[in-house]
Every structure is written in C-alpha cells, then in structure tokens.
Structure 1
Amino acid sequence: MENSHVFISVVHYPAVNKDKKWVVTSFTTLDFHDIARPARTYELGGYYIVQPLEAQQFVISQQIKYWLEGFGSRFNPRRAEAAKLVRLVSSITEAIEDIEKNTGKKPKLVATSAKKYPQTLSYSDLRKKMEKKEDVYLILMGTGWGMPEELVKSCDYILEPILGPGTYNHLSVRNATAIILDRLFSVNRELESL
C-alpha cells in the first residue's frame, strides 16, 4: 500500500463539549465505513477508533466482526476490504503503541482542528514530509467540539483548518477526513496551492 506509513484515528476521548469540558463522545456507525473507505482508497496503514467506553466498544467490535467474519464480508467484499483497516483501541496511547509495535517506529502525531494555531502546517508541507516516507504518522481527527487544546498543542504537527469562503466552519468528522486525505494523497497535483 502506497501510504502504509500513515494511519488515521477518530478520537472519541479526549474530546471537548461546547463548554470546553473534557468528554467522551459516542461512536456513530456512519463513521465506520465513511472513514474506512477513504482510508482504503488512499492506501493508509490503518484506521483507529479511539473509544474507552465498554458499551461503545461492544458496538464497534460487533460491526468489525460483521464486516470481517459475518454476512457483510460476503454481501459486500469491497466494504469488507476497507473494514480490514479498522482497529479498536481504548486510548491514543494504545494506538501509538500498536503502530510502533507493527512498524518499529513511534508515529509523529498530526492534530487536526477547525482553529489555526501558531505552529500550523500547510497541506503541501505535510504532504512533502509524508512523501519522504522516513517517518510514520498518526492523524488525529477530533469529535464533538474538537480535541482539547492541550492535546492539539502536544502533537508534532497541527494541520491547517479546512476553510470555506465564509465564517461557517463545522464539518462532520467524516467530511473532514475525506477532504484531508484527498488534499494529502490525491494524485491530482493541481492542488499544490493548498
């Protein structure tokens, strides 16, 4: 796989609510395939769902089982192929450890945010780093009202926000993931100005 050194994760904890309090967000079944399929399209190394709650883990593990072993694996093999990338973990630390165990390298953490930070990196600059394939990367996608600032600022890189022509900036994690992956890995190089 072309980009097997890059992984993506949907972070349900830590997340913040509109009052900036730390919370655990709920898994949405749409996120399973609507992120696994772009991850497979752009040939990433894996897709981590970071969810610490046991009840939520049960739902996610049943969905994984359905698509890898159950009726879904026979009904729609293309979706099953994307589902092979999905890994369920309880924490970001667990995802980092799993990547390090499987690649021999600790991943560089890439935060995403709807806000711009002083150390924000452009898509073009991050793409150039990733194309060298010297490092392994884990892209963190926030849920709820985003990831806590402490987490974002602790990452190796912070990717610039996705901006439209106006001030409205509230994409679903599914939409944001697809846009980000396309900007980073599309073979359409007309996007160099991004």
Structure 2
Amino acid sequence: MKNSHVYISVVHYPAVNKNGKWIVTSFTTLDFHDIARPARTYELGGYYIVQPLEAQQFVISEQIKYWTEGFGSKFNPKRSAAGSLVKLVSSITEMIEDIKNNTGKYPKLIATSAKKYPQTISYKDLREKIEKKDDIYLILMGTGWGMPEELVKSCDYVLEPILGPGDWNHLSVRNASAIILDRLFSINRGL
C-alpha cells in the first residue's frame, strides 16, 4: 500500500465537552465504515479506534468481527477489505506502542483542530513530508468538542483547520477525516 506509513485514528478519550471538561465519547457505527473506507481508498497503514470503555469495546469488536470474519465479510468483500484496517485500542499510548511494534518507529503525531497552534502545518507541507516516507505518521481525529489542548500541544504537528467561507465550523469526525485524507492523498486534488 502506497501510504502504509500513515495511520488515522478516532480518539474517544481524551475528548472534551463544550465546557472544556475531559470526557469519553461514544462510538457510532457510522464511524467504522465512513473512516475505514477512505483509509483503504488512500492506502493507509491502518485505522485505530481509541475507546477505553468495555461496553463500547464490545460493540466495536463485534462490528470488526462481523465485517472481517462473519457474514459481512462474504456479503460485501470491499467493506471487509476496509474493515481489515480497523484496530481497537484502549488508549493513545497503546496505539502508539502498537504502531512502533509493527513499524520499528514511533509515529509523528498529527493533531487535528478547528484552531491554529504554533506547530500548525499546511496540507501542502505535510503532504511533502509524508511523500518522503522518512517517518511514520499518525493522524489524531478528535470527537466531542475536540481533543484537550494539552494533547494537541504535545503533538509534533497540528493540521491547519478546515474552513468554510463563513465562521461556522462544526464538521463530524467522518466528514473531517474524508476531507483531510483527500487533501493529503488525492491524485486529482487540483493543486
């Protein structure tokens, strides 16, 4: 796979609520395919779901099994191929360690945010870094009202915000991930 050195993740913890308090967000079944499919289309190394709650882990595990081993794998092999990229982990630390164990390198962490930070990077500049294939990259997608500022500031880079023509900015994680992957990896991005 061309971009097997790049991973994407949906982070359910830590997340923040509208008051800035740390929370755990719930997994939605739409996130499974609506992020796995673009991850497979753009040939990423994998898609991690970070979810510490056991009840939520059970639901996610059952969905992974259904699409990779169960009836879903035979009913729709394309969805099965996308589902095979999905990995469930309990924490960001576990995810980073898993990537390091599989690649031999710690990934460069790429946060996403609706705000700019000192380490904000343009899509063009990140695309150029990724194309060199010198490093492993992990894109962290926040849920709820985003990731805690402490987490975002600890990342190597923060992708520039996705902005529309006005000041309203509240995309779903599924929409944002598809836009981000297209901007980074599409061969017909028209840039």
> What is the TM-score normalised by the length of structure 1?
0.97
Question: Is the CA contact 2:119–2:156 (under 8 Å) kept in the aligned structure 1?
Answer: no
Counterparts of 1:105 and 1:81, CA distance in 2: 25
Residue 60 of structure 2: aligned partner: 60
Q: For residues 91-145 of structure 1, give each alpha carbon's deviation from its aligned partner in whole angstroms, at most 9, with x where no partner exists.
A: 0110100000000010000000011112210000000000000000000000000
Residue 166 of structure 1: aligned partner: 166
Counterparts of 1:188 and 1:70, CA distance in 2: 35
Identity %: 84
Residue 41 of structure 1: aligned partner: 41
Matched residue type, 2:148: P
Counterparts of 1:190 and 1:54, CA distance in 2: 44
Counterparts of 1:69 and 1:84, CA distance in 2: 9
Q: For residues 141-189 of structure 1, give each alpha carbon's deviation from its aligned partner in whole angstroms, at most 9, with x where no partner exists.
A: 0000000000000000010000000001000000000000000001025
Pairing of 1:15-94 with structure 2 (within 5 A): 15-94=15-94
How big is the alpha-carbon RMSD for the aligned residues of Structure 1 and Structure 2? 0.6
SS at match of 2:190: helix
Structure 1 unaligned residues grouped into runs of 5+ = none
Matched residue type, 1:16: V
Structure 2 unaligned residues grouped into runs of 5+ = none
SS at match of 1:183: helix
Question: Is the CA contact 2:17–2:23 (under 8 Å) kept in the aligned structure 1?
Answer: yes
Residue 129 of structure 1: aligned partner: 129
Residue 103 of structure 1: aligned partner: 103
SS at match of 1:165: coil
Counterparts of 1:140 and 1:66, CA distance in 2: 25
Residue 119 of structure 2: aligned partner: 119
> What is the TM-score normalised by the length of structure 2?
0.99
Kindly tell me the number of residue pairs found equivalent between the two proteins: 191
